[in-house]
Amino acid sequence: MVLAQASIAGWFLKVFWDRATEIISAQSDYQTIKAWDDPVV
């Protein structure tokens, strides 16, 4: 039972980590696009 709980916790961690990295990369992509759109003075 403990093993099952540990694997479920690991799976949740993996899913959460994947989502977090997706969001972070999406935000950095947005920042890059925003920087490209802004005219350099």
Tokens of 20: 């977090």
Structure tokens at 15: 């899913």
Give the integer Cα–Cα distance in Å for 29 and 13.
24
Give the model's pLDDT for residue 41: 59
Calpha distance 3→5 (Å, rounded):
5
What pLDDT sits at residue 28? 85
- pLDDT tens for residues 1-41? 678 888 999 999 999 999 999 998 888 887 777 777 776 65
Q: What is the pTM of this model?
A: 0.55
